[in-house]
């Protein structure tokens, strides 16, 4: 589990194709502090497992499935990536609860300056947009952001100067693709309502008349 607060930008130093997928070596510094083999780490919002670690880098493996449903398959040597270690329960959650499971890939359709912020309009799949609400949360390439507005085809977010400077969103341009994860709480609420819709509209009163009617006495 993550918070969507990127700790640093790393860089892809090598990609190695294997029978099981792709091994990515990531140059990093901050996240290496207490990183261990077997730990989960978010790379552009995708939860991956550390399989090796060096003094200045770590290695993860991405399966063909992960490569096909995220933008990780588009990475090349030297590409910058957003990095976040798994959250600790005894620390503040600066963003929102992020699972690191990508729900879909979006495309930046417009980018404009608004005051000191950059506003991005991102076209997104319906499976993501169903959970997008005004002032709700969404994860874009592993970054927790607040939704400015949402339509049937897209949503918009504001990128403040700090976020632009310390994440890859400052480098993104129109037509670039990004990994998207919907708000986890929204999914749980939808599931709960679906289950409730299958229940009787009114809870029956269990009394003598009810028991006689159902042949229980």
Tens digit of each residue's pLDDT (9 = 90 or more) over 1-34: 999 999 999 999 999 988 888 999 999 999 999 9
- The arithmetic mean of pLDDT across residues 77-106, rounded, is 92
d(CA 197, CA 194): 5
Question: What pLDDT does residue 22 have?
Answer: 95
| Structural domains of the chain ordered from first start | 8-85 (2.40.30.20), 104-197 (2.40.30.20)
Question: What pLDDT does residue 176 have?
Answer: 98
- 211, pLDDT greater than 90: no
Hey, which residues does 50 pair with through a beta bridge? 60
- Using pLDDT thresholds of 50, 70 and 90, give the confidence band for residue 97: confident
C-beta separation of 144 from 98 below 8 A = yes
Question: What pLDDT does residue 139 have?
Answer: 98
Residue 202 CA to its chain's centroid (Å): 38
What angle is formed at CA 34 by the lines to CA 46 and CA 37, rounded to 5 degrees? 60
d(CA 36, CA 135): 36
Question: What pLDDT does residue 190 have?
Answer: 79
- Residue 215, Ramachandran bin (φ over 0: left; ψ between -120 and 50: alpha; else beta): left
List pLDDT tens digits, range 131-177.
999 999 999 999 999 999 999 999 999 999 999 999 999 999 999 99
C-beta separation of 3 from 84 below 8 A = yes
Q: Strands 80-85 and 177-181, how do they pair?
A: unpaired
pLDDT above 90 coverage of the chain, percent: 77
- 196, pLDDT greater than 80: no
- 72, pLDDT greater than 80: yes
- 47, pLDDT greater than 90: yes
Indicate the SS3 state at residue 119: strand
Rg (CA), the chain: 21
- The arithmetic mean of pLDDT across residues 46-66, rounded, is 96
3-state secondary structure 74-109: HCCCCCEEEEEECCCCCCCCCCCCECCCCCEEEEEE
């Amino acid at each position: 589990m993550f918070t969507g607060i990127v700790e640093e930008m790393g860089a892809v130093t090598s990609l190695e194709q294997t029978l099981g997928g792709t091994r990515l070596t990531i140059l990093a510094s901050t996240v290496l502090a207490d990183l261990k083999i077997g730990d989960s780490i978010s790379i552009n919002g995708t939860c991956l497992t550390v399989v090796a670690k060096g003094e200045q880098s770590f290695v993860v493996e991405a399966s063909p499935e992960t490569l096909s449903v995220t933008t990780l398959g588009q990475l090349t040597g030297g590409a910058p990536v957003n990095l976040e270690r798994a959250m600790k329960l005894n620390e503040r959650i600066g963003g929102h609860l992020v699972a690191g499971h990508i729900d879909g890939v979006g495309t930046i359709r417009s980018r404009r300056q608004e005051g000191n912020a950059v506003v991005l309009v991102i076209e997104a799949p319906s499976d993501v947009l169903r959970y997008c609400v005004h002032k709700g949360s969404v994860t874009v390439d592993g970054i927790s952001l607040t939704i400015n507005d949402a339509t049937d085809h897209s949503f918009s977010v504001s990128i403040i100067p700090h976020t632009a400077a310390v994440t890859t969103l400052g480098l993104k341009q129109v037509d670039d693709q990004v990994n998207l994860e919907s708000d986890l709480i929204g999914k749980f609420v939808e599931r709960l309502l679906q289950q409730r819709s299958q229940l009787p509209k009114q809870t029956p009163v269990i009394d003598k008349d009810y028991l006689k009617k159902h042949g229980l006495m």
